[in-house]
């Protein structure tokens, strides 16, 4: 683990050169993606923690990593023997590191950030704690480049057009709906930075990000002319010509920061603030009109082609699962199989299906107690050996050209089943049925429905002895 410590030492030296007293490293990319490409795995590189969520704060004396309960064990294992200290978050994604760092820093300090990785609301939140102590925020977009040796490059895979047989709607038709909204808002441009929104609107796909077939890009949609910022070398001549007919110009992704102020000067720009990074907010030289993503709304309403493809996709994935289960049971009668191998074998069955693109997330294969670990990932070396008995949880899915799957199955492999397991399994099943059959009014949120999903499950808590005479249930 000395390599992690060496990286942190190099980072601290560069912080001195940049005259910053703390540097905050989130898990995100400039597009607020759930999964990021290797180029943006900065937090993982400097902490050793490879989980999907967490924040690293480096000062001249501290290397503090905030993570929620899903990752406590993983952080302790992956960061053992390094400078990195775990700070346990009580609420996932809560910015608990901000009051902490602003408290330990003296007045007139400087916090370094890459503004591309923070939204405007996040910057505003930091300033709430920094301003009273006159702590300044400094944009340091090149600090990491100076200390990350052999940093991976941004993806350069070819960009594919998502065929009409899968999308059910042309790019021209989708673009017109956005242009209509621009007209309704009496605006000039619609700015899009969410990768899933861009992939849907322009009907493009690639393999830039793990588990999702997205293309790293920005987009500016205008009433007459539109711009897609993505390296032009990734597009074939046919695609470029097709986009030109739609008055879509493909500009280099690397030119985005330079071109954004020019294209937005004195313009009214509609955008979704939830995925707008602060560097882009600062770069727009016109007037903002903030609203929830129109594209998110449009793509949530599936057309007939998409619905039919989703059905075909589920059948195809179901066939892969049935073939896998037919393999698993007799194989376990011959030998013990590691959790990791089970995940890889399941993937091979899915690969044999038409239009397979990859897993939709890292398969969770948890045997016995490991099935209770949230977001568990079986390691290649040292994962549990599955026997022909007990419980096996498999939560997995795939990306196909015609849809995405996410399937969870809890399997009893053999032996005597305890009443506790029967009760828990039945409670979860009842909860699912409650949720599946629930009728609810418009405006109901998931948190409210969650109560019905949990209503048949008992959660027993250990209470002080003076309360133990009563049977408490939650």
Query: What is the Cα–Cα distance from 267 to 187, expressed in whole angstroms?
Result: 7
Least confidently predicted of 84-93, 306-315, 376-385? 84-93
| Whole-number percent of the chain with pLDDT over 90 | 79
Domain range summary for the chain, segments of one domain joined by +: 2-147, 160-300, 304-417
Strand partners, 136: 110
Span 36-47, average pLDDT:
95
Do 231 and 157 form a contact (C-beta atoms < 8 A)? no
Of 41-45, 48-52, 146-150, the least confident: 48-52
Instruction: Name the band, by pLDDT with cuts 50, 70 and 90, for residue 299.
Output: very high
* Residue scoring higher pLDDT (76 or 323): 323
Lowest pLDDT segment from 6-20, 195-209, 416-430, 460-474: 460-474
pLDDT band at 470 (very low <50, low <70, confident <90, very high): very low
pLDDT at 461 over 50: no
pLDDT of residue 468: 45
Mean pLDDT, rounded, for 75-80: 88
Where b means 16+ CB within 10 Å and e means fewer, 32-67 reads bbbbbbeebbbbbbbbbbebbbbbbbbbeebbbbbb
pLDDT at 393 over 50: yes
Q: Which of 126, 124, 85 is nearest to 102 (CA)?
A: 126
CATH of domain 160-300: 3.40.350.10
Give yes or no for residue 445 having a pLDDT over 70. yes
Contact 376, 342 (CB under 8 A): no
Same fold, 2-147 and 304-417: no
Is the pLDDT assigned to residue 70 strictly greater than 90? no
The pLDDT of residue 472 is above 50: no
For residue 77, the model assigns a pLDDT of 84
Of 383, 374, 371, 379, nearest to 410 by C-alpha is 371
Calculate the average pLDDT of the chain: 92
Summarize the confidence of residues 444-469 as an average pLDDT. 69
pLDDT at 377: 84
- Band the pLDDT of 72: cuts 50, 70, 90: confident
Can you give the pTM of this predicted structure? 0.87
Residue 345 is inside which H or E element, if any? helix 339-351
Across the range 247-276, mean pLDDT stands at 95
Residue-wise pLDDT for 93-120, tens only, equals 678 899 999 999 999 999 999 999 999 8
- Is the pLDDT assigned to residue 277 strictly greater than 80? yes
The better pLDDT of the pair 169, 446 is held by: 169
Q: What is the pLDDT of residue 467?
A: 42
User: Looking at residue 458, what is its pLDDT?
Assistant: 67
Give the pLDDT score at 121: 87
398: part of which helix (H) or strand (E)?
strand 398-400
Q: Please give the backbone phi and psi of residue 395, each rounded to the nearest 5 degrees, phi first.
A: -120, 110
Q: Check whether 390 has a pLDDT greater than 90.
A: yes
Residue 411 has pLDDT above 50, yes or no: yes
Higher pLDDT, 340 or 121: 340
The pLDDT score that the predictor gives to residue 1 is 53
- Dump pLDDT digits (tens) for 329-353: 999 999 999 999 999 999 999 999 9
pLDDT in tens, 157-185: 999 999 999 999 999 999 999 999 999 99
Instruction: Tell me the CATH number of domain 2-147, given options 3.90.420.10, 3.90.870.10, 3.40.350.10, 3.60.15.10.
Output: 3.40.350.10
* Confidence label for 466 from pLDDT (cuts 50, 70 and 90): very low
Domain 304-417 has CATH 3.90.230.10: yes
Q: Is-contact 363 346, C-beta < 8 A?
A: yes
């Amino acid at each position: 683990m000395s390599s992690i410590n060496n990286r942190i030492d190099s980072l601290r030296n560069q912080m001195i050169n940049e005259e910053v007293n703390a540097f905050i490293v989130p898990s995100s990319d400039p597009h607020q993606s759930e999964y990021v490409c290797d180029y943006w795995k900065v937090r993982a590189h400097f902490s050793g923690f490879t989980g999907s969520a967490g924040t690293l704060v480096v000062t001249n004396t501290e290397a503090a990593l905030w993570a929620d309960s899903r990752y406590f064990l993983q952080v302790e294992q992956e960061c053992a023997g390094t400078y990195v200290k775990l700070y346990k978050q009580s609420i996932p994604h809560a910015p608990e590191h901000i009051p902490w760092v602003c408290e330990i820093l003296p007045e007139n300090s400087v916090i370094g950030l890459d503004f591309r990785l923070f939204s405007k609301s996040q910057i505003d939140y930091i300033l709430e704690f920094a301003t009273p102590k006159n702590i300044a925020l400094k944009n340091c977009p090149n600090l990491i480049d100076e200390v990350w040796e052999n940093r991976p490059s941004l993806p350069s895979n070819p960009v594919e057009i998502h065929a009409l047989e899968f999308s059910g709607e042309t790019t021209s038709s989708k673009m017109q709906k956005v242009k209509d909204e621009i007209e309704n808002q009496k605006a000039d441009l619609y700015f899009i930075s969410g990768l899933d929104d861009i992939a849907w609107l322009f009907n493009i796909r690639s393999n830039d990000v793990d588990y999702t077939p997205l293309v790293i890009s920005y987009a500016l949609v205008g009433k007459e002319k539109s711009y897609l910022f993505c390296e032009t070398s990734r597009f074939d001549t046919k695609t470029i010509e097709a986009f030109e007919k739609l008055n879509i110009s493909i500009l280099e992704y690397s030119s985005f920061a330079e071109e954004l102020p020019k294209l937005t000067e004195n313009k009214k720009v509609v955008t979704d603030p939830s995925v707008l990074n602060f560097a882009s907010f600062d770069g727009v030289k016109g007037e903002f009109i903030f609203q929830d993503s129109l594209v998110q709304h449009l793509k949530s309403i599936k057309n007939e082609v998409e619905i039919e493809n989703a059905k075909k996709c589920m059948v195809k994935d179901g066939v892969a699962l049935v073939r896998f289960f037919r393999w698993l049971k007799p194989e376990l009668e011959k030998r013990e199989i590691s959790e990791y191998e089970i995940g890889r074998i399941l993937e091979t069955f899915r690969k044999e299906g038409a239009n397979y693109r990859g897993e939709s997330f890292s398969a969770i294969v948890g045997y016995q107690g490991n099935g209770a670990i949230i977001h568990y990932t079986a390691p290649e070396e040292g994962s549990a050996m599955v026997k022909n008995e007990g419980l096996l949880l498999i939560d997995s899915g795939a990306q196909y050209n015609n849809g995405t799957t996410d399937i969870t199955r809890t399997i009893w492999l053999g032996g005597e089943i305890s009443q506790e397991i029967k009760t828990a399994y039945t409670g979860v099943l009842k909860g699912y049925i409650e949720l599946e059959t629930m009728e609810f009014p418009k405006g109901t949120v998931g948190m409210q429905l969650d109560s019905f999903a949990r209503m048949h499950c008992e959660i027993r808590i250990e209470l002080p002895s003076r309360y133990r005479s009563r049977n408490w249930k939650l």
